[in-house]
Structure 1
Amino acid sequence: MAVKNFIPAIWEARLLEHLDKTLVYGNLVNRDYEGDIQQQGDTVKINQIGDITINDYDKSTGIKVEDLDSTQTTLTIDQRKYFAFTVDDLDAVQANVLLVDNAMQRASYGLRDAVDRYIAGLYAGAGVVDGLGTDEAPIAITSATKAYEALVDTKTALDEANVPSDGRFVVVPPTFYGYLLKDNRFVAAGTQKTDQVLQTGYIGDAAGFHIYQSNNVPNTDGVKYKVLAGTSAAVTFAQQLLRTEANRSETKFADIVRGQLVFGAKVVQPKALACLTANFK
């Protein structure tokens, strides 16, 4: 049977290539602990050092030594997704690079969408929210000027929280992007270099942010959009492709290719993540 000649590495390489390339939210987080997971249910203990007091020095009194203060948070790999589809002749498919590539591209699209929606849903953990709208009083963005002003207000909120300016991102819905295109202060992607990363959702820069577009920005029936901004230090993410395997179908003269992905994410630096609540209509 063709299933005996199944080569997992061929399929997994294609899947991971497309999965990483097309992530939006998933490419804006850190993966510092990804190597520590093996299966669903795994947990990673993350220790964080608190602030260290800076004192005035007086040679007559000497110095005071303080104990390090640390907090611990847990990253839990509690999400599991899978795909499964049939192929009539596995040997022929594996020999056809385009077919393998297309199959894994579609599988990775579905996994990517699930991962991105999960990470986007972590907006409730954002530590910077003051002045950026609420569910009861969202910011009304109805013009290019208001869209840019909302970015500036978000930048200011992060500045006041002492969030580093390097590598700041913001993920916006298509309507927000449409407004930005009407503002000359928005530097849209258009050069050869930036066009190469458009597939990751990157659309340009404004107000100190690298701006990304996604249809997965959380919202409630088309209103109260949760626009996340910050740095990759805010969220840690880990995923592991557990296995890709083939089995003979019991109902068809075909092989079944299936795969399983486990992942988890955690807001570990709330102050490095801002949430703008806005309406666009």
Structure 2
Amino acid sequence: LTIERPSSNIIDLEINQGRYFATVLDDVMQVQSDLNQLSMWAEDASEQMKINIDTYALANVAGGLSADNVGLTAGRISGNINLGVTTNVLDIVARNPGAGEVEVIDAITRLGQVLDEQNIPETGRWLVAPAWFCAMVKRSELRDSSLTGDGQTMLRNGRLGMIDRFTVYMSNLLPVATGEYTIFAGHSHGLTFASQLSRVETIRSESTFGTILRGLQVFGQKVTDGTAIAAVIASPA
């Protein structure tokens, strides 16, 4: 009887990114206003910081992907899956594709095949797509609930849910250049993110009569397995 002890490679994650905000609310403005402006500013600043961090994280995914998971000849086994490249993107349509066009569901199944050929687990898969891509999914053949087995069509409940084993998320923060969008699909073990410090505080201003509101977040992000994420370069036809 041979007993094996599971082991894994050590991965270093650098926490080397930081974002901050700082603003001041003058005492006079605070007294003359009937709104809790500091609270409103804190909520808005936190949301803007979240958008900034998510944009950074998504912009730095593509560089860590396996060569078999991108391009015109993707697929570790087949080598003939067209996922599009810059200047030669996939022109996506909802249904009935014409010459040179790709149906939106076909694009999703291509991503699924690429991950299948890398032997990526089926559970825990995700797909992040822009709003126009998700809208096309709602107009595709999947809008017929009898085909998906759902109780209601996605046009009724607005929920994309799971398609070809992917949990679908919508984001307007994906990388885009001259109308060419990068759409990512992958598995949870392919990408990691860590926030080491998140702090929001108020202090009195030294140079004015007012209260300073400031916040800081320090974080890091890394593609931990380039075979577990694939990318389509696409634009709406």
The TM-score normalised by the length of structure 2 is 0.74
Equivalent residue letter for 2:117:
E
Within the alignment, does 1:123 sit opposite 2:62 as a pair?
yes
Within the alignment, does 1:158 sit opposite 2:146 as a pair?
no
Query: Does structure 2 conserve the Cα–Cα contact (< 8 Å) formed by 1:144 and 1:180?
Result: no
Residues 100 and 147 from structure 1, CA distance in 2 versus in 1: closer, same or farther, beyond 3 angstroms? same
Equivalent residue letter for 2:140:
D
CA RMSD of aligned residues (A): 3.0
Query: Does structure 1 conserve the Cα–Cα contact (< 8 Å) formed by 2:42 and 2:213?
Result: no
The 3-state SS of whatever aligns with 2:11 is strand
Aligned pairs, number: 206
Distance between the aligned counterparts of 1:259 and 1:81, measured in 2? 8
| Residue 178 of structure 1, aligned match among 135, 139, 164 | 135
- In structure 1, what is the equivalent of residue 94 of structure 2? 143
Distance between the aligned counterparts of 2:227 and 2:187, measured in 1? 10
Within the alignment, does 1:73 sit opposite 2:11 as a pair?
yes
| Residue 272 of structure 1, aligned match among 228, 231, 234 | 228
Distance between the aligned counterparts of 1:72 and 1:189, measured in 2? 45
Distance between the aligned counterparts of 1:97 and 1:208, measured in 2? 47
Tell me, which stretches of 5 or more residues in structure 2 are unaligned? 75-80, 97-102, 144-152
Shift of 1:101: 4.7
Distance between the aligned counterparts of 1:167 and 1:97, measured in 2? 43
CA offsets per residue over residues 34-76 of structure 1, 9 Å max, x none? xxxxxxxxxxxxxxxxxxxxxxxxxxxx99x999986443211
- 1:186-225 superposed matches below 5 A: 188=154, 203-223=160-180, 225=181
CA offsets per residue over residues 118-137 of structure 1, 9 Å max, x none? 11111221222212122242
Between the two proteins, what is the percent identity of the paired residues? 31
Distance between the aligned counterparts of 2:207 and 2:112, measured in 1? 57
The TM-score normalised by the length of structure 1 is 0.64
Distance between the aligned counterparts of 2:36 and 2:202, measured in 1? 19
Q: Name the stretch that deviates more: 167-176 or 177-186.
A: 177-186
Distance between the aligned counterparts of 2:7 and 2:196, measured in 1? 32
The 3-state SS of whatever aligns with 1:238 is strand
CA offsets per residue over residues 66-90 of structure 1, 9 Å max, x none? 999864432111111101122345x
Distance between the aligned counterparts of 1:115 and 1:271, measured in 2? 24
